[in-house]
A and B are shown apart, each in its own frame.
Chain A
Amino acid sequence: MSGINSLLSIAAIFLFSLISLRFNSVALQNMQLEIENKVYLTAFSLGDDLLEKIKQRAFDEQTIVFRSINPEELTQTSDLGPDAGENSASDFDDLDDYKGYNMTVSLPHVEGFVVQSDVNYVQEDNYDEISNIQTFYKRVDITVSSDYINHPVHLSFVFTLHSK
């Protein structure tokens, strides 16, 4: 085979190899995205599950038995979190007990989801702003993270005293 023909053949194979490699990496990225999407869906589901459980709790320790109350009688911002004797979620009786709560969930297709929650008072006219004093609005922020997703999932829900 002449030299020029050999070179052309090698160039053709080289070009084809490049195209194949590129195609393979695109297919792999696509597959990765599909699986990641599945993990995202599950993460949303887990966040929503925790929210459902929190919805069952009272707005505040002081309103477990519902009564008229002034904001300053509600749990102070510094005291948000589990109360004495509340060691696990089954002991929680109001929603701010979930401040700082976290759990690890392993499911059949993905292991090691970490579900965390935070609870703060928010301003009455702007739910995005955390309030340093008690208000009738508490925002629950849930974050679900996993090694298999690039960005954690955040869910927020604002509860008012009359929610429960």
Chain B
Amino acid sequence: MNILLDILGGTFIGGILLLLVIKLNIFTANASFYSDNELKLQQNAKTLAEIINYDLRKIGYNYDGVAIITADSTHIKFYADMNEPGTPGYGTVDVVEYYLKDSTSSVGTSNPSDRVLCRIINYADTISGPSLGLVNLKFSYLNVQDIETTILEDIVYVKAEFWVEPTEIMNNFITGQQDSSVFTYWELTINPRNI
């Protein structure tokens, strides 16, 4: 009887330990996935910020006149010479356009809300890469007093705000539920020197 009790007790405790080990392994995998996603989120936000920062800084470069053509919350169009001195195309003013496509444009990601930011140069050269998890983008335009304006010639600052979520739907590794609160927000205000 005692031996039977020993075997049963040992199996029970061993089973509990085994379950705990499995649970710990699942937790490790989820934590690692969550961590990678968070890192990717921050990298994507930084990449988007660098791209937007680089282009918007050139607004009005080599162009005389009102450089901004369209100033909308998700759409901006402007004149700028995008080529550096000494490179082909320098001296010719380009028309650069950024707009945010709708959420159906982003295929291949499981996040239903992510959208693609499209960059168009001279109405033809369309670049729209992966969504990078961008779910919303808002441009606002400020005058010299730091007040929002819609008057194109008064614009001195362009402020870009964007919200980035993971491209793949993920569950919170603690609650096990889909966690829509995982996102990164980024904002940058640019004062293009040529407007």
Contact = CB atoms under 8 A, between A and B. Distances in A.
Contacts, number: 88
B187 A9 contact: no
A12 B146 contact: no
A107 B39 CA distance: 20
A90 B146 contact: yes
A20 B159 CA distance: 46
A56 interface: yes
B77 to A, nearest CB: 22
B17 A34 contact: no
Contact-residue bracket for chain A: 20 to 34
A109 interface: yes
B189 interface: yes
Interface string A5-32: 1100100110010011001000100110
Given A49-B187, A109-B185, A9 B13 contact: yes
Contact of B187 (A2, A12, A45, A53): A45
A40 B34 CA distance: 19
Contact of A27 (B17, B31, B188, B189): B31
B144 interface: yes
A48 B187 CA distance: 10
B46 A53 contact: no
Contacts of A69: none
Contacts of B39: 34
B184 interface: yes
B9 A108 contact: no
Contact of A31 (B35, B144, B156): B35
A34 B35 contact: yes
A30 B39 CA distance: 11
Contacts of A109: 183-185
Nearest to A37: B42
A13 B13 contact: yes
B10 interface: yes
B191 A5 contact: no
26 contacts: A5-B9, A6-B9, A9-B9, A12-B17, A16-B17, A16-B20, A20-B24, A23-B24, A34-B38, A37-B42, A38-B38, A41-B46, A42-B185, A45-B186, A45-B187, A45-B188, A46-B187, A52-B189, A52-B190, A55-B191, A56-B144, A56-B156, A56-B191, A89-B146, A90-B145, A90-B147
Complex A-B, nearest 6 residue pairs according to Cβ-Cβ distance, in ascending order: A90-B145, A49-B189, A1-B9, A9-B13, A34-B38, A52-B191
